[in-house]
């Protein structure tokens, strides 16, 4: 199949380190040349040791699931002859502790708003497209998190 790479880079930059008071800001670099400023989440590591404007791993996890679902939805809609004009998703990830007290993301909720041109699909068509997109999404197939598509 394929292999994907990412380089994660961090530098101490003079902080004492062993007192745990160091910046969690770092960079993600990808094979196509994209560089993403990243950090621990300020929900996990307080500012100034985290950088709220940078992407954190939890946000990236959520975005990966939402983007994978969207890309399969768009492909499936095109194959069915539905013209999608826009797709906006206000996705959320919920963190919780499991029975052993381990923090994880048990649920991701996708809230796509989709605009179509021409003959719009029925609500049943849209539900079937979301079901098929979820079943084919590589990321959703790789995690134990429950992924839900909400139509609120």
Cα distance from N-terminal residue to C-terminal residue, the chain: 37
CB-CB contact of 109 with 150 (8 Å):
yes
CB-CB contact of 66 with 98 (8 Å):
no
Superfamily of domain 57-149: K homology (KH) domain (3.30.300.20)
110 Cβ partners below 8 Å, 6+ apart? 65, 66, 69, 89, 91, 147, 148, 149, 150
| Average pLDDT along the chain | 96
Mean pLDDT computed over 37-64: 97
Predicted structure pTM score: 0.92
Q: What is the pLDDT of residues 72-130, one digit of tens each?
A: 999 999 999 999 999 999 999 999 999 999 999 999 999 999 999 999 999 999 999 99
Domain ranges of the chain: 1-55, 57-149
Q: List, in sequence order, every residue forming a beta bridge with 117; answer none if it has no partner.
A: 83
């Amino acid at each position: 199949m394929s292999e994907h790479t990412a380089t994660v880079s961090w530098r101490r930059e003079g902080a004492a380190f062993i007192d745990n008071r160091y910046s969690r800001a770092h960079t993600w670099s990808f094979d196509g040349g994209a560089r993403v400023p990243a950090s621990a989440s300020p929900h996990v590591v307080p500012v100034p040791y985290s950088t709220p404007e940078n992407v954190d791993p939890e946000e990236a996890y959520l975005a990966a699931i939402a983007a994978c679902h969207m890309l399969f939805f768009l492909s499936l809609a095109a194959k069915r002859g539905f013209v999608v004009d826009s797709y906006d998703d206000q996705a959320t990830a919920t963190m919780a502790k499991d029975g052993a007290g381990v923090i994880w993301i048990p649920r991701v909720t996708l809230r796509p708003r989709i605009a179509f041109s021409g003959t719009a699909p029925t609500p049943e068509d849209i539900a079937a497209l979301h079901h098929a997109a979820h079943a084919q999404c590589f990321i959703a197939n790789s995690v134990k998190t429950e992924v839900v598509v909400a139509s609120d």
